[in-house]
Amino acid sequence: MGLDKLQESLGYSFKDTQLIEQALTHPSCAQEQSIEATKTYQRLEFLGDAVLDLVLAEHLFHLYPDEREGFLARGRAALVKRDTLSTLASRLNINEHVRMSKLEKASGGQERSSILEDVFEALIGAVYLDSDLDTTRQLILNWYGDLQPMLEEILAEDNPKGRLQEHFQQQLRQNAIEYIVKKESGPSHNKEFLIEVYVAGKCLGEGSGHSKKEAEEAAARIALETLESEPLEAEE
Residues acting as catalytic residues? 49, 121
Q: For 25, how many CA atoms within 13 A lie in the half-sphere containing its CB?
A: 25
3-state class (DSSP) for residue 99: strand
The continuous run of DSSP H or E covering 207 comes out as: strand 202-209
Give the length of the chain.
Answer: 236
Cα–Cα distance list, 131 to 11, 17, 192, 225, 232 (Å)? 13, 12, 38, 36, 47
> What contacts 194, CB < 8 A, 6 or more positions away?
181, 182, 183, 184, 185, 206, 207, 208, 215
The continuous run of DSSP H or E covering 158 comes out as: none
CB distance 143 to 135 below 8 Å: no
